[in-house]
Structure 1
Amino acid sequence: MRLNRLFLIVATFLICFIKISSGTYETWYPENVGRTDLLCPSDCNLRESSLGTYNSTNKCCVCNAVPSWQLYGDISFLKVEYVRRDGTVHLIGERENKTKLVHHKGFVTSLPTNICEFPNLVFVSLQNNKISTIGNISCLISLDTLDLSYNSIHFISNKTFTGLRNLRILNINNNYLATLEPFALVGTTLQIFRADLSSNNLTEIDISNLISEKYICKYDFSKNNITKMVNDANFSLNGNKTVYKCGFIDLNNNNFESFIDFVELGIDDITLLGRVLECGFSMQAMKWDCDCQMEPFLELASKVISRIWRDYFNLTCWNPPEYRNMSVPGFATKDDFLNDNLHLLICNMSEGEEGKCPRYCHCYVQPKLHRTVVNCTSIGLTKLPLYMPDKENLTILMANNSIEIFESRNYLNRTRVIDISDNLIRIFTEDAVSMLITDTVLTMNNNSFKKIPREFQKFDPCSKVRMGQVILDCDCKDIWIGDWAENRNVKQCNNLTEILCSTRNGQVSWIHLTWNDICGFENYDLFRILSILFSIALLVAVITSSVFYTFRFELSLIFRKVRSRDQRRVKPWLQYDVLVSFNEENETVRKWVIETLEPQLQLAGYKSCLPLRDTIPGTLKEDEMIYNINRSKNYIVILCDDYLGDQWKEKEWKYVWHSFHKNLDRNIVLVNFDQVETSDIVNSRLKAFLRLTLDIDFANRNNTFLEDIQDKLGPPMRYGRVLRNAKTKYVTKTEHVELNI
């Protein structure tokens, strides 16, 4: 042990001697740290390093400064004493002066239990031990260097190094570190110049641990399993900062594939990235996906990329295979024709409802051209796809298919380019063309249409509509085509679109199209007036027909009343004065009809037919129904909520109405048993009775209920034993039998 100590003292002395002899040092006061013991080489303004030429003293000193005790050896070493077999240790040694702890390849499982009793401890190196947690070390206010490499640490919180304002060098490489909380390395009080967290198990890194407002030398996160940067702490760039000082960030040999999504990292304005150009990010030896996520950054950096690019920026593509080994900055570099290749950076979209890419189509986002392309060329389409990706600026390519109708789709107003050439288009619907915006470029060569809607006149045929040569069947409604050609001066672009109208004089170019060519009328005003008059007459006819049809049954009842014949004539084949039609399944209605209405009708001299009672068993129900209806002079219909509740009752009402409609001397008395409203009736014939208030309200309890029924029925066909065909005297309303119903 003494020999080892002697060796360390001699080695320290030799290092200090070499450093002192190799140059002079000056006191350096780093910004926002408050340390006075750091010494920086005097020639820092001229020195070059692997990061390039330093352009400020601070940049040089942050990597090359050393504390005074390291140069002059004014420090004492501490000893480690194991107090338990589980690896628990405590320290022995000087407490007043600056001290140093070095213990490698031991069995220490945690930091010494009494480490806080050594506030002047400035250097701790416990490499190759079995430490799994760091614990609370905020008491080590003088700690400058902490080396816990080759241990078993798996977690570092953002409070682990709280209070360690002098911590300058941190080494936790080759552990099992899986979690590094946001702001664990970069904070308002921390000023860690070097941090080595390489060869661990990190899968993601928070941006708050990468970008610092203070100078740093190097943070090494290489050889982890990092796949993405995150922003769990809602970090955002300080808008008041002109440039972030930062340093070198080593992210080589990780598992990044997708390029950084700066929006997710809280950088909505990508121009702010210019403020972190002082930070060097090395991200080599990874299988990058060269897609649309790279494009915004490369496009923004294209003007300066040749000046700021450094060797460690040399990223190469892995996917897609056709771009493999291509340099990422090469996409933003101008070629011989002064064009970049940023348009090659695309993101493919999935097929089906999830990505909303139509089946068998190829969809991709192309940021450079600010568009989303849907390529459905030559896939056998017979109609326009029902859905498209939920993106703006769609470019839809559907050439060489079998589409026959260009019809309305909700994505048309988001489309900027449509190619439907080489299809079978016969019809352009007006609503579909109306949905297209005026800036849409529509290519429609080689189709079968003979008509185009007037909505096409909103397009510029010289830049937006490309039809090729088409022959249309023109009539008077197509005179706008000639106006369209004249207003848009199509003579200069007749090679893109040439419309020929078939007329009685042959084919006429739209450039020379006149009214007489397609209408043949000299007096356009007369034709227009006639057209207007005809349209008005047609509109009146349509409205009148609609009214007559809607209220046809009401009109029939009104005209019937005017044309009604003498009801006192008695037909010898009639067997009943009245047939009562009601829903026998409705217990309330059935009980009232049998126990109240029918006895009162009988008392008044009416012979009534109740289908429930008077249908002969064993006969065909429908034949018996027709027989009883034909043998009845009048009909009482008891209207309730479920009157037409089954098919037999619907048939009975149909035959009652037919008999009533064909015989003017017959009548229907409608009793509104449930006070049914017009809106509740579906049957138009029943609804007509209610609309004309021809029904009898069952709620009428003022002793006129039966009188109203008798009034509508007229007198019975016989009194007592008078023959069926005998003439009867009409009984006035005052002579009716007074009944209490």
Structure 2
Amino acid sequence: MDISYNNLTYFPIFHEKGINVKHAGKLYFWAMYLEGNPWKCDCKVYPIAKPSEMLINIFDNINMFMVCDSPTQLKMKTLKNIIANFELDQLICNLSLVDRCPPECNCFYQPALGNRTVVDCSGSGLTRIPSALPLYENLQIDFTNNSISSLKRLEQFGLNFFERIKKLDLSNNQIITISDKVLCRFRKIKLVNMTSNAIKRIPRSFQMLKPCQIALGQIIIKCECEDLWLKIWLPLQYQSCTGNTQVLCEHNGLLRSITEMDKVDLSCSKTNNNASLFNMSISSAFFAMITIAVIIFKLRSEFFILTRSFWNFVKKPVAPNCIKHDIYISANEDDPLLRKWLLTSLVPYLERKGFDVFLFFRDSAFGAPREQETIDVMSKSRNFIILLSDITNGTQEWNKKEWKYAWNYYKCDFSRNLIVINYDFVKCDDTVKKFFRGFFTLRKVINFSNFDNKIEEDIFTLLK
């Protein structure tokens, strides 16, 4: 194959769909003449150059005449020599403004070193973080030797962007503080170099980072009791990152490592104990408040019923003028035994006592919309008697609506009364619990197992 003396800068042999190194055996007896072309030896050559390291002898035929024309550092070198001299790290692709490379910086993609993308802004006179950075993976960003004093602009980058960064070098700048928001983003980076800056305090929020994740260098501070947490956070002696951060305290005219300081040295033992007691007191009070709030929330129905009873005992409520019926009875109309007991026992008993009783299946207007009539009648009733039975245990929609209206009137108008009768020994399931849990808990439910035949008398007593 002879393509020499053309104007080719790339050749399909380097592309994914071009000739692959797996074809090397078939190409052993081929001759490829590539000289006389301005070959550009950059990252696009790497996919074929890397696998060819083990087949360097075969490349006598394939690459003998392939001479790089650019970049400058590889000019006049053959691809075979680049591979043989282990110079694959020179095969890079420069990025431009189109790739979001800041104009003051030099950005390049370097596949030979872990497919990294380098953003080199060192010594470029920056006073703040650039507003745009390349969106490549495995970013290594170098902002060293500048005049950056604030990291505020880093807050505008999303967390997903920081997951792309492997190393961020901000050493030799003028940074004084790091906000908690920026520290939270640093958690996504493998290593942040902050040495040789103007940091004078290390707030406790640095605990969000692992000590080997950030390097602050040697920091001299006036140590206080609140700084003793650093003794636990700083790298241990045997860790490889033990030199990342060293905190020295100004103490009696000398500099001592904070790892050698204790409460006595900082004269904070008593103060710290008092602070601990105060913190424990605050924590206990907060925990007690939360516990009480949870209990009140869980037993809100019970507390309401008890409070309502006490208020009615202290001040007798006045019934509204709209009252038309003394009692509204909600029961399962499809239960023949329950209907019989209501029509032959309970209702006649209450009516003999002078109560006006409304029983829907007996007294409702023929052909009237049920829900509208239910709302109208219940709004004009003073007492509500709810009979719970198996069939109404969460399956009878009309009964559940009656329960809701009865409970709402009971809550909003203290002159109204609500009586719950457990007709079939129904358990307090989720549906029943929504409206009547408090009555079950406080044992204010009348059970039909009244073998003394006094259930009517019990109801009458509650209606007085």
- TM-score, reference length from structure 2: 0.55
Q: Is the 8 A contact 1:409 1:432 kept in 2?
A: yes
Q: Distance in 1 between matches of 2:19 and 2:65?
A: 22
- Partner residue of 1:291? 42
- Partner residue of 1:416? 166
Q: Distance in 1 between matches of 2:275 and 2:450?
A: 66
The one-letter amino acid paired with 2:42 is D
Q: Distance in 2 between matches of 1:550 and 1:666?
A: 23
Distance 1:691 1:388, change over 3 A: farther
Task: Render the CA deviation track for 1:348-374: whole Å, top value 9, x for unaligned.
Answer: 69989xxxx999999864223324337
- Partner residue of 1:551? 298
The one-letter amino acid paired with 1:372 is R
- Partner residue of 1:260? 14
Q: Distance in 1 between matches of 2:423 and 2:222?
A: 63
Gaps of 5+ in 1: 1-219, 224-249, 583-587, 615-620, 718-727, 729-741
- Partner residue of 2:326? 577
Gaps of 5+ in 2: 122-128, 366-371
Task: Render the CA deviation track for 1:432-468: whole Å, top value 9, x for unaligned.
Answer: 666555xx2433746898524364784349xx51367
- TM-score, reference length from structure 1: 0.39
Counterparts in 2 of 1:13-32, with a 5 A limit?
none
Please say if 1:316 is aligned against 2:62: no
Please say if 1:451 is aligned against 2:203: yes
Distance 1:543 1:326, change over 3 A: same
- Partner residue of 1:480? 229
Distance 1:684 1:348, change over 3 A: farther
Moved more, 541-550 or 421-430: 421-430
Structure holding more helix per residue:
2
Q: Is the 8 A contact 2:211 2:233 kept in 1?
A: no
Larger RCO (alpha carbons 8 Å, 6+ apart)? 2
- Partner residue of 1:466? 216
Counterparts in 2 of 1:259-658, with a 5 A limit?
260-261=14-15, 267=21, 280-284=31-35, 290-295=41-46, 298=49, 312-317=65-70, 326-327=75-76, 329=78, 340=87, 342-343=89-90, 345-346=92-93, 365-373=109-117, 375=119, 378-380=129-131, 389=136, 391=137, 393-396=138-141, 402-403=152-153, 409=159, 415-419=165-169, 425-427=178-180, 437=190, 440-443=191-194, 445=197, 451-453=203-205, 455=207, 458-460=210-212, 465-466=215-216, 475-476=225-226, 478-482=227-231, 487-488=236-237, 499=247, 510=258, 513-516=261-264, 520-522=268-270, 530=277, 534=281, 537=284, 541=288, 544-545=291-292, 547-556=294-303, 576-579=325-328, 602-604=347-349, 605=351, 606-608=355-357, 628=379, 632-634=382-384, 636=386, 653-658=407-412
Shift of 1:500: 7.1
Q: Distance in 2 between matches of 1:711 and 1:287?
A: 110
Distance 1:546 1:265, change over 3 A: farther
Shift of 1:345: 1.0
Q: Distance in 1 between matches of 2:101 and 2:364?
A: 67
Counterparts in 2 of 1:35-434, with a 5 A limit?
220=1, 222=2, 256-257=10-11, 260-261=14-15, 267=21, 280-284=31-35, 290-295=41-46, 298=49, 312-317=65-70, 326-327=75-76, 329=78, 340=87, 342-343=89-90, 345-346=92-93, 365-373=109-117, 375=119, 378-380=129-131, 389=136, 391=137, 393-396=138-141, 402-403=152-153, 409=159, 415-419=165-169, 425-427=178-180
- Aligned residue for 1:313, secondary structure, equals coil
Shift of 1:396: 4.7
What root-mean-square deviation, in Å, do the aligned CA atoms of Structure 1 and Structure 2 show?
A: 6.9
The one-letter amino acid paired with 1:480 is W
Identity of aligned residues (%): 13
The one-letter amino acid paired with 2:408 is K
Q: Is the 8 A contact 1:314 1:327 kept in 2?
A: yes
Q: Distance in 2 between matches of 1:347 and 1:689?
A: 77
Distance 1:570 1:252, change over 3 A: closer
- Aligned residue for 2:203, secondary structure, equals coil
The one-letter amino acid paired with 1:314 is V
Q: Distance in 2 between matches of 1:349 and 1:589?
A: 81
- Partner residue of 2:460? 714
Distance 1:367 1:374, change over 3 A: closer
Shift of 1:537: 3.7
Distance 1:415 1:559, change over 3 A: same
Q: Is the 8 A contact 2:21 2:48 kept in 1?
A: no
